[in-house]
Structure 1
Amino acid sequence: MHDLLCGLAANPALPTELVDRLVAVADDDIAGALAGRGDLGRARAAALAARVDGSGVALAYSGRLHVADIDPLTQADAALALLDEGAGPPEWARLLSADPACERREKLAGCPGLPPDVVETLAADPEVSVVAELGLSAGPDTAARLAAHPHTHVRRAVAANEATPPAVLAALLTGRGLPAPRHCAVCEHEDTPFAHDPHCPRPQCPLPPGAACDGSHGSALHDIRHAALRNPATPTEAVVAFVDHPSALLRWAVAERPDIPSQAGAPLASDPVPVVRASLAENPAIDDTLMRRLASDPDPGVRRGLAHNPRVPLDVLTGLAHRTKIGATLLPRIATCAPAEVEELAMSPEPAIRMLVAHRRDLPPAIRDRLAEDPDAKVVNAVASHPGLSARRLGALVDRHGTRVLAQVAANPDAPPALLEELTRHEPPARKVLRAVARHPAAPAAALLVCLTDSRARPVAAGHPALPPAVVVELLSDPDRAVAEAAAANPSLPQEVMADLTSRL
């Protein structure tokens, strides 16, 4: 019954009086479904938040609740959500900065526009996690001050904060100009020297795998450097010193930098760790010379990364298509091709190259239709879901290529009801087709009934508004809770049945 009520709470056809009835009895789950309703309104939202405190958070974030609707003493989490949106008054921030729950003070520390006195209070909080949260989002002055905090957890947060001054980020990266930290998560919990077993058998152990401290806070300092290297505000000249660092994780972070100069990228192109080279290959900051060098890399992951680089030369990309499995996706470079380039790719004698451009969904009709007539099934499969293809042409694709294109044809937004029904009865059957049809807005009742025979398509089909009302009612008693809940959320469920379900409350 509870699953049905959750489904009803999300049903867009639920009458107003039944919405009120559910608000009056809502628990956390029902309130979560009600909070997503477009017709909830401010009065109901306030009533729901007053009944179920947790729902106030979602309602505040969605703009359904205002300052006048919330009592920060009894609805602290909703008040924090408004503060996080920059909509709460300073008095709330001062009140919550003394909240006994550490989790709330942490949340407050991440809110924007806090009054200076609240920032000072949080910076002096006895819980390191609160101060670290402040360090993650503080302005330049506070971040610079917290960079000298004695605990590495706070320093790591400051290293990830893009508002931290560049000179301070460079100091966190090199360790120069800052007092040595005195505490880390390892030496707080263990006698040093200590190296944490990556396969630690202790339940709920607070230390990450591989954490270690011999008094110098080694793994924590590594984490600080990693955060600083990933921070785009860290000066480039401080970053390039790490291209040959012993840590592959740090070299990986350098390879991803959008400001990496060519001379720094060159040694990374020979890095012994493939994921470092792959990240470099995908980085649009590298020049054509480096891209052409990486195009011959023996690792397919590196070549695949290069294929996803938005600045890869088109001739390099077409060369990669011959010998690298790129996947069924629209590549960034293909998405920005000029009309002449699109025409050139579509006329290529190589199916792998024609398939690249077939993934575009803004092709000129003549090119789209030509690719739909392609003799290669992979090319046709790439273009089959393209909007604008006629019902006749979609049917012809199925006749020529069968199961190889069924799922993509079923996903085509212009596939007509008759074709969708035909696809569900295709022999041999294809389960992916049933899932695609179950999601299709134009799916007719007959096709949806077939979709109900598939365990993965069944919950989707149960919520489709084209399903006959009698079938929807029958699905309310389905042993699969997801199916029953989807049926309860189906707008085709008769309103008298909705009323009967809520009358049992």
Structure 2
Amino acid sequence: MNHVLCGLAANIALPSELVGRLITVADADIAAELAGRADLSHAQAVALVSRVEESAVQLVYEGRLTAADIDPVAQPHAALALLDERAGSPEWARLFAVDPVLERREKLAACIGLPSAVVETLAADSDVRVVAELALWTTPEVAARLAGHPHAEVRRAVAANEATPPAVLAALITGEGLPPARRCLVCDREETPFVHDPHCPRLDCDLLPGSSCDGSHESTVHHMQQAALRNPATPTEAVVGFADHPSMLLRWALAARPDLPAGVSRRLAVDPTPGVRADLAGNPAIDDALIRALADDRGHDVQRSLAHNPNVPLDVLTRLAGATKIGATLLPRIATASPAEVEELAQSPNAAARMLLAQRRDLPSEIRDTLATDPDAKVVRSIAAHPGLSEAQLRAMVDRHGVRVIAKVAANPDATPALLEDLTRHEPSVQRMFREVARHRNATASALLACLADKQARPLAAGHPALPPPVIVELLTDANWKVVEAAAANPSLPLAVMSDLVP
């Protein structure tokens, strides 16, 4: 791989003339970068395909090619991509529906808006993988028909399709009104009863670990039930009975549904599997009483999930903040807190609650400024990247809390060039701070030169437009290929150097 040319191909300052020259020498890696250019012309896109044919699919999805540019026989992957974008010819769909290459029929089956005759051809395909792919994406009418398909794998796909009518999904779960499935992927290949060895030594075997069939296609039926439980279109009354199902995976799938009745939620709240209770804890459907009960659940991830529930009361959330690791993230309940609640949180004696509030980036200036002088470093670290803080406030944070807040101060969008320079000279230093400075829009040449000394910040600094051109040129021969590509993609790379680099 030529990392210099790959970087140049992504350089937004590369003139159109040099883009054209680069196309004439492009390989697959360079073509992938060129195909993503916002300024690539239609003529250049066509030329790129003639040079590197495999770039056609990416160019289709980038919106650079039309049906007039593609020969479906010579460029089937690009033609299928256009059909996937609903921009291909209906004739192509008819062509691919009977293509002897399975992967092409399968790709076609995932396309939306196919002619009805093509859909009928795919629904009758001899390979169940094609029919299952169609079932996963097709219209309600076709999905309803395929729900009675003799192959259980097709029914599993129908159960995952959110366009499948609710009554059909209910029938798939209960089996009522549908003829029994006659085959599955397991009994297609093995004599039943059969259980697939999770450590199967056969290199050509693609059955899932533990797949089994005793004539009832039980593992595929189980997957179908899971898909239906996760499908929001499946009626509530059809799923509530799974709260006591012996399968932990089915109870787990049920726990995340936003339409759970209170009685079902209560049963799942005492489930022996912590993962089931954790998914339930994050479910907006559970009521206040259940939230408060789960707040004392020390099962793995239960309290953390509860903290992310958008309906968790603030007093519960405050307790959770001190009891579990939530991380530097804006919680949904904090994001929607009212002005009065924001005021309450800002004055909380619990530093963890103030820290959660400080993750908001739309706080009133008086609240922001109060949190900026908080005695707790965790609160200050959370507020440090808030826009609107002055240089004096940011410097005061570093003076008080040092390395505990310096990286977040460097990430503040309003950090001044002088402050960023001073941060790179801070002792002791913090690695993450150099990365933040290296990507900061206000970073100066002096600050970026300091960042080059840090291994992780070096590629970021190499791509910063404020880096002096002679340094950028020097980095084109760096031992680290990431640095080389970043330097070549730097828009401040001199034009004469760009021209010399392109063959």
What is the TM-score of this pair, normalised by structure 2?
0.97
Distance 1:470 1:151 in 2: 66
- What residue in structure 2 maps to residue 435 of structure 1? 435
Instruction: Give the conservation status (yes or no) of the 8 Å contact 1:53–1:78.
Output: no
Deviations 1:63-104 (A, max 9, x none): 222222222222222222221122222112112222232222
Moved more, 197-206 or 465-474: 197-206
Q: How does 1:7-406 map to 2 (within 5 A)?
A: 7-203=7-203, 205-299=205-299, 301-406=301-406
Counterpart of 1:494?
Answer: 494
**CA–CA separation in structure 2 for the residues paired with 1:21 and 1:315:** 64
Contact 2:274/2:300 (8 A) holds in 1: no
* 1:286 positional shift: 1.2
Deviations 1:220-252 (A, max 9, x none): 111010001000011110110100111111101
- Using the alignment, how far apart are the partners of 1:425 and 1:205 within structure 2? 58
State how far apart, in whole Å, the 2-side matches of 1:182 and 1:484 are: 59
Q: Any idea what SS the aligned residue of 1:54 has?
A: helix
- Structure 2 stretches of 5 or more lacking a match? none
Write out per-residue CA displacement over residues 159-193 of structure 1, whole angstroms, 9 at most, x where no aligned residue.
10011111111121122222222222222333332
Structure 2 residue identity aligned to 1:136: L
Q: Distance in 2 between matches of 1:331 and 1:302?
A: 15
Q: Which residue of 1 aligns with 2:3?
A: 3
Cα shift at 1:204: 5.3
Answer yes or no: is the 8 Å Cα contact 1:109–1:133 preserved in 2. Answer: yes
CA distance in 2 between partners of 1:300 and 1:332 (Å)? 21
Secondary structure at the aligned position of 1:78 is classed as helix
Does the aligned pair in 1 maintain the 2:196–2:211 contact within 8 Å?
A: yes
Corresponding position of 1:479: 479
Number of residues of Structure 1 aligned to a counterpart in Structure 2: 503
**Does structure 2 retain, via aligned residues, the 8 Å contact 1:184–1:217?**
yes
Equivalent residues of 2:445, 2:466 under 8 A apart = yes
CA contact (8 A) 1:243 1:267 kept: yes
CA distance in 1, matches of 2:189, 2:454: 51
Distance in 2, Cα, partners of 1:217 & 1:144? 21
**Cα separation, 2, equivalents of 1:398 and 1:223:** 54
Instruction: State the 1:300 CA deviation.
Output: 5.3
Kept in 2, the 8 Å contact 1:300–1:324? The answer is no
Q: Is residue 53–residue 77 contact of structure 1 (8 Å, CA) maintained in 2?
A: no
Distance between the aligned counterparts of 1:55 and 1:62, measured in 2?
Answer: 11
Moved more, 127-136 or 76-85: 76-85
Per-residue CA deviation, residues 290-344 of structure 1 (Å, 9 max, x unaligned), is: 1111112122511111110011122221222232222211100000011111011
How far is the alpha carbon of 1:494 from its aligned partner?
A: 1.4
Which string of whole-angstrom CA distances, capped at 9 and with x for unpartnered residues, describes residues 195-228 of structure 1?
2232334435312222222222221111010001
Partners of 2:364 and 2:311 in 1: how far apart?
Answer: 23
Bigger drift between 486-495 and 314-323 goes to 314-323
Contact 1:292 1:316 in 2 (8 A): yes
Aligned residue type for 1:405: V
Equivalents in 2 of 1:122, 1:179: separation in Å? 21
For 2:259, the aligned partner's letter is D
Q: Measure the CA separation in 2 of the matches of 1:464 and 1:15.
A: 19
CA contact (8 A) 1:152 1:184 kept: yes
Identity, % of aligned positions? 68
The AA in structure 2 aligned to 1:14 is L
Contact 1:228/1:234, CA 8 A, preserved across alignment: yes
Match of 2:447 in 1: 447
> What is the rounded CA distance, in whole Å, between the counterparts of 2:464 and 2:361 in structure 1?
26
Counterpart amino acid of residue 500 in structure 2:
D
Aligned 8 A contact 2:318 2:350 in 1: no
Hey, what's the Cα distance between the residues in 2 that align with 1:425 and 1:300?
A: 42
Q: Any conservation in 1 of the 2:279–2:302 contact (CA below 8 Å)?
A: yes
Shift in Å, 1:130: 1.2
How large is the Cα RMSD of the aligned pairs? Answer: 1.5
2:424–2:450 CA contact under 8 A, matched in 1: yes
User: What is the CA–CA distance in structure 1 between the aligned matches of 2:217 and 2:459, rounded to whole Å?
Assistant: 51
SS in 1 for 2:197: coil
CA distance in 2, matches of 1:480, 1:157: 46
1:467 pairs with 2:467? yes
Contact 2:11 2:490 in 1 (8 A): yes
Letter in 1 for 2:149: H
State the one-letter code of the partner of 1:235.
P
Q: Secondary structure at the match of 2:502?
A: helix
Q: Which runs of 5+ in 1 are unaligned?
A: none
Q: How high is the TM-score relative to the length of structure 1?
A: 0.97
